[in-house]
Structures are given as structure tokens and as C-alpha cells.
Amino acid sequence: MSDLQNTQDDVKAENRIFPPPAEFAAKAAISGMDAYHALCKEAEQDYEGFWGRLAKENLTWHKPFESVLNESNVPFYRWFEDGLLNASYNCLDVNLQNGNAEKVALIFEADDGTVTKVTYRELHAKVCQFANGLKSLGIVKGDRVVIYMPMSVEGVVAMQACARIGATHSVVFGGFSAKSLQERIVDVGAVAVITADEQVRGGKHLPLKSIVDEAIAMGDCEKVRNVVIYRRTGGQIGFTAGRDLWMHELVANQAADCEPEWVDAEHPLFILYTSGSTGKPKGVQHSTGGYLLWAKLTMKWTFDIKPDDVFWCTADIGWVTGHSYIAYGPLAMGATEIVFEGVPTYPNAGRFWSMIEKHKATIFYTAPTAIRSLIKASDADPAVHPLKYDISSLRLLGSVGEPINPEAWMWYHRNVGQERCPIVDTFWQTETGGHMMTPLPGATPLVPGSCTLPLPGIMAAIVDETGNDLPNGQGGILVVKRPWPSMIRTIWGDPERFKKSYFPEEFGGKLYLAGDGAIRNKDTAYFTITGRIDDVLNVSGHRMGTMEIESALVANPLVAEAAVVGKPDDTTGEAICAFVVLKGARPTGDEAKKIATELRNWVAKEIGPIAKPKEIRFGDNLPKTRSGKIMRRLLRVLAKGEAITQDVSTLENPAILEQLKQAQ
């Protein structure tokens, strides 16, 4: 399996080049590198003119903007600020007007394979009815609504309905625990929570509503007036009279028309929590105008979306990828898209390929972790190999969430792309709203493992610790030098943290710091992301702060101290490895196993199952400097199982390394 875990050196040495297929390039929205360079040049020569033109051409404005970019309060940039629009209007009404009313918007496939198709006309009606329902609860423009829902038509409807009435949604991934949910409800000050009775994944029913009840019972959720429940399974749930309502009852008598609330371009469309390098998740605030522009435009540029495409992004709406490339981008383009409730391995690991065959998907966008696990599965069982299915409808593939190692890229190219579909390796973040660096499928020659070049208008660069440009071939810190429309606006409730995290003074306060390292190839100037440079882990494409997991561990009464690091993993990219010191004696043997299981479950309760450490090692202490700082650098080496070659003379307690070398 070692070939699935390339080192960064392998990526840097990669020299296979795959030019875009001529047939693809001929029909592409951006065809050939000259067209790409022309757009880049337009942006360089007249930055505001470039973005202003695109915003006018791609969005429908209720009141056109005059001001493109207001930079008077850096880094709180304001885009198209005097324009008025509505995101839901741009995704739905616009499609009713331009001949897409009877076109299928959503192809929903449930966990058990049941398919429901929803046309633009039907989606518009559902969104309007739900928007009217929310209004009847007294929810108004500017209110925050938490959405804790499964992958479903109703999940998309909930997001769009909030957008329609100007309520700011904050979607919390359905895998997060009651505690994580409560923290987000409190931080965002939600007036309502939209949820389902249960979710269904891999044949199992998992609770949602009872977790909402638990979260609210934890306290400080007094602002929540209502909990709206979508009935997914009919499973048993508790019902708090006066607070809880069924979604189907709420919409029953509502009109299928709802005048959109026209909002400023800067009005917060959503707040999405993501991990940073402290224990507290950050509420990333996005705008309406700039965000929607980029969600739509990247559908055109990166995915080359055409009217008869069937687009499938496998992300969950609880992550930013599900926001931009399920809930907003495809609908703003009037596309047909697949929404999938289940998991890639149920009823077997051929599920993705059989769905591509069934729905004739043409564009498929997934995460490297899914690809790696399906490689393993099809090695083990040839019956679920993609080439056993008729996936000839595919014309374009995408990757997102973490670096894709060249071997996984090659497998994806050969076996899913049948050596004829370009692969767009899209680098971006919750904070960037949409793609930042990615090949353009009809223009950019591909190099496995490289996200290639920035999109036109995105001024990405690599700098050193003082903010000075580095030459190609030298690795450094990835920054963006100019603001762009879909960028994060602030951290909800914490503008100081926003400034410090993303526009630090050390870099002059004007460079956007992505939190990733990168290097550009000497010959091609292509970018390769070398990974996070902060204390953020990427496990199966999910972002997690080491501090969050450490805080969760330390909250357990048995634990005195904990340090969490990432270690490379064949399937999940990175795996969580925790070094733990208990208040009592260091456990060994079966007792260590028992406590490790207990702590894993504890973390699942505190944060969610995705944050469970894969490995827990117990020590009498942790390696510390004389000033008491935990040497995470050394723990990373230990976690990898490598020998420590660094100087450890500054360590207070070097003997501890020997003890921590062994797993429990």
C-alpha cells in the first residue's frame, strides 16, 4: 500500500504531463492557455473592471452596484456593496425565467437507492413555501438559523429558504456531537434550528433530533425559539410543545410564492464553522454577492458546466464544498445535480460507480480520501472496480479537500477517467468561498498532484516568513496578495481574530494567509500544496484543530495532559495520534486498551466521531522544553514511527521519548 502514501518529494519530482484532450478543449468555456492568460491579464490591468464586468454578467441584481471594491477598512474588504440582490432568486427564479423551469435541478438518491427528481419549478415552490413558513415563525432578515440536517432535498431547500428571506444560515455537519452543535448554536446566536428526526447512512438510522434536544438542554440556547423537524424516517423522537414543529406541517398551507428579501451584496449569506489553531472553531462569515459570483463562475470555469451536464459533488452540505458546489453554484448555473444521502461503501464499494452509471453523471467531484479507500476496496474485490460499470458518461473529474498523491491521481485518471477525462485538482478553503487554484479542464496541461495555477483574478504567491516573494523552486508560505469577491468577510463575533489569523501584521496586514505551505515548480511555475503550516489536521479531508481535540481529551476526568499530532495515513491522508498523560498511573496492556477506547468514545461525544484519535499512547509525561512547551515536533516524529535525529538537548526530560516510542 506504500505507493498510496507519496511523500512531498515524489510530488515535487513529478514530471508526467497530461495536456487537455483536443475535443474537450474545443468546446470548453476557457479554451487553451491563451484564453486563460488573457483573463489573467485583464485582471492585472484593471482589477476592479475585471470583477465588475463578471459580477454584472453573471448575477441578476435587483439594484445594480456602482462600487466594485471598497478598501477603506482593510482587511474588511467590501465588494459590490451598494448593489442589492438575493441568492435564492439567482438560483431559482432566474431559472424559471430562462427556460429551465421543467429541467431537473436535483436528482436525489437515498441511502436505499430510492430516487427523487425535483425540477427547478418544484424546487422554487418548495423553497418559497418553506421561506413563508420560516417567516410565519417570525424569522426575519439578519436572524441566524442553524441547519443540522442529513443530505436531502430538504437540506438544500432549508439553505435556499434562509437565503430567500435574508436569514443567515449556519449549517452544522450531521456528524458533530451535541456539544459541538451547542457551541455553534450559542456562538452564532441562532433563533431556530432546522433538523430531521434521523439520518440514514449505510443502512443505519442515526439520531439528529435527539442530539438537538441534548444540545439545547446543555444551556445558553435561550434564543432558539423553534426547532423545525423534517420527517425522514418516522423514528421515535421527543417533542417539545410550543418549540418543535414538523416541516411538512409548517409548509402545508404556505403559498408557493415568496417575494425574495433584497439584501446588500455584503449581507451575510452564511456562517460556517471551521477549525483553526486554537481550541475554538471559527465562524467563517461569507457575503451574498461576492460569494455567489464565485460559486457560479467557478462552475463555469473549473467545471466547464454545460446545459446537459449531470453534475455530482459528493460532499456533505455541512462542509463548504457542499455549500458552493451543491447548494449554490450548480443551481445558479441552472445545472442538473445529484444529491446523495448515503456513503460510498454501501451496499458495496461500487456505489459511486453504479450511481454514475444509473444517472449518467458527466462531472464527478470527490475527495482523495474517498478515492484512496475505493482503490483499496477494488483491489480487495474486483467486482466493485469502476471499470466493471458503464461510466462512459463521465467527461470531467475533480478532487478537493486535501493533496492528492500522484499514484491515487493516476488510478483516478486511468480507471475512472478512462484516460480521457481531465482531472481538476481544486485547492481552496472554507475561507475562500470557492476554488483558488485549479487546472482549467480545456486549457491547463495537468501534472498529477499539482493544483497547477491560480484562477484568473486570484493573486496567489509564495513568500517567506517576512512576506517577501520567494523564487520558483523554493517552498514557503502560500498567500493571496489581493482581495477577491468570495473571500471570508470576518470571523463571526471576533473581528480581531479574523485580522490576526488571516491578515497578520508580520506580513504587513494586507496579505491573506491561507495557512498552507506551497512550492512552485521551477519550469512550469505550477503550485503544489505541501500541507498546513499551523496546528490544523486534515483527516479524510475534514479540517480539525489539534487544540480542539486536546481540549476534548483534557476535559475527561482521567486525563491530566494531552498532545495531538497528525501522522501520515494511507487512506485518510492524515490520522490523529494522541499522546496522553493520565492523572493516575500510566496504564499498560489491557487496561491501556480499555482506557484508550473510553477516551476515543469520549472525543466522539465531545466533538464528533470524525475527531476520534486513531492511536492513543500513554506516557508518564510529555516531551517538554525547559520552559514547559510541549515539543510537538518530536511527537510527530514518534507518531510516524521514525527515529529521532533532532537535537533533544533542550528537553527537560529526554528519557520520556523512549517510553512514548511504543504504542500502547
Please give the residue ranges that form the binding site for ligand 6R9 (CB under 6 A): 274, 319-321, 399-403, 425-430, 451, 514-516, 529, 532, 538, 541, 543
On whether 203 is known to bind a ligand per the annotation, the reply is yes
Three cell numbers written together for 334: 441552472
How far is the CA of 482 from the CAs of 44, 509, 565, in angstroms?
A: 10, 12, 33
- Of the pair 93, 425, the CB lying nearest ligand 6R9 is at 425
- Of the pair 126, 323, the CB lying nearest ligand 6R9 is at 323
- Of the pair 61, 319, the CB lying nearest ligand 6R9 is at 319
Whether residue 88 contacts residue 164, with contact meaning beta carbons closer than 8 Å, is answered with yes
- Of the pair 212, 400, the CB lying nearest ligand 6R9 is at 400
- Minimum CB separation of residue 274 from ligand 6R9 in Å reads 5
- Of the pair 208, 514, the CB lying nearest ligand 6R9 is at 514
The Cβ-side half-sphere exposure at 539, using a 13 Å CA radius, reads 22
Of all residues in the shown chain, the one whose CB is closest to ligand 6R9 is 430
On whether 20 is known to bind a ligand per the annotation, the reply is no
- Minimum CB separation of residue 401 from ligand 6R9 in Å reads 4
The residue type found at 511 is L
- Cα separation, 320 vs 367, whole angstroms: 13
- Minimum CB separation of residue 387 from ligand 6R9 in Å reads 25
On whether 166 is known to bind a ligand per the annotation, the reply is no
- Minimum CB separation of residue 64 from ligand 6R9 in Å reads 31
- Of the pair 354, 572, the CB lying nearest ligand 6R9 is at 572
Secondary element (H or E) of residue 640: helix 632-640
Residues with Cβ within 8 Å of residue 550, at least 6 apart in sequence:
279, 562, 563, 564, 578
- Of the pair 291, 618, the CB lying nearest ligand 6R9 is at 291
- Of the pair 184, 543, the CB lying nearest ligand 6R9 is at 543
- Minimum CB separation of residue 533 from ligand 6R9 in Å reads 9
- Of the pair 233, 277, the CB lying nearest ligand 6R9 is at 277
- Minimum CB separation of residue 438 from ligand 6R9 in Å reads 8
The residue type found at 591 is E
3-class SS of residue 230: strand
Beta strands in 191-249 (DSSP E): 192-196, 198-201, 204-207, 226-230, 244-246
- Cα separation, 625 vs 628, whole angstroms: 5
Secondary element (H or E) of residue 606: helix 589-606
3-class SS of residue 554: helix
The candidate with the shortest Cα–Cα distance to 148, out of 158, 140, 138, 139, is 158
On whether 540 is known to bind a ligand per the annotation, the reply is yes
- Minimum CB separation of residue 436 from ligand 6R9 in Å reads 9
Whether residue 457 contacts residue 42, with contact meaning beta carbons closer than 8 Å, is answered with no
For residues 291-311, one letter each, b for 16 or more C-beta atoms within 10 angstroms of the residue's C-beta and e for the rest, the string is bbbbbbbbbbbbbbbbeebbb
Q: Give one DSSP letter per residue of 153-181, joined into a string.
A: HHHHHHHHHHHHHTPEEEE--TTS-HHHH
How far is the CA of 246 from the CAs of 169, 206, 230, 243, 662, in angstroms?
A: 19, 18, 6, 10, 53
The residue type found at 184 is R
Q: Give one DSSP letter per residue of 495-509, joined into a string.
A: HHHHHHHHS-GGGTT
- Of the pair 232, 323, the CB lying nearest ligand 6R9 is at 323
On whether 433 is known to bind a ligand per the annotation, the reply is no
- Minimum CB separation of residue 526 from ligand 6R9 in Å reads 12
Q: Which ranges of 422-564 would DSSP assign to H, the alpha helix?
A: 495-502, 546-554
Residues with Cβ within 8 Å of residue 388, at least 6 apart in sequence:
350, 353, 382
On whether 402 is known to bind a ligand per the annotation, the reply is yes
Three cell numbers written together for 371: 478515492
- Minimum CB separation of residue 450 from ligand 6R9 in Å reads 9
- Of the pair 298, 321, the CB lying nearest ligand 6R9 is at 321
On whether 257 is known to bind a ligand per the annotation, the reply is no
- Cα separation, 304 vs 30, whole angstroms: 8
- Cα separation, 358 vs 194, whole angstroms: 31
- Cα separation, 535 vs 566, whole angstroms: 9
On whether 321 is known to bind a ligand per the annotation, the reply is yes
- Minimum CB separation of residue 132 from ligand 6R9 in Å reads 33
- Of the pair 364, 427, the CB lying nearest ligand 6R9 is at 427
3-class SS of residue 604: helix
- Minimum CB separation of residue 425 from ligand 6R9 in Å reads 5
On whether 403 is known to bind a ligand per the annotation, the reply is yes
- Minimum CB separation of residue 121 from ligand 6R9 in Å reads 31
- Cα separation, 20 vs 421, whole angstroms: 9
On whether 116 is known to bind a ligand per the annotation, the reply is no
- Cα separation, 69 vs 48, whole angstroms: 7
Three cell numbers written together for 452: 497547477
- Minimum CB separation of residue 529 from ligand 6R9 in Å reads 4
Residue 245: strand pairing partners? 228
On whether 426 is known to bind a ligand per the annotation, the reply is yes
- Of the pair 361, 514, the CB lying nearest ligand 6R9 is at 514
Asked whether the CA dihedral 123, 125, 127, 130 is positive or negative, the reply is: negative
- Of the pair 319, 498, the CB lying nearest ligand 6R9 is at 319
On whether 72 is known to bind a ligand per the annotation, the reply is no
On whether 99 is known to bind a ligand per the annotation, the reply is no
- Minimum CB separation of residue 23 from ligand 6R9 in Å reads 25
- Cα separation, 297 vs 59, whole angstroms: 10
Binding-site residue numbers for ATP are: 401-403, 425-430, 516, 532, 543
Binding-site residue numbers for CoA are: 201-204, 321, 540
Binding-site residue numbers for Mg(2+) are: 554, 559
Binding-site residue numbers are: 201-204, 321, 401-403, 425-430, 516, 532, 540, 543, 554, 559
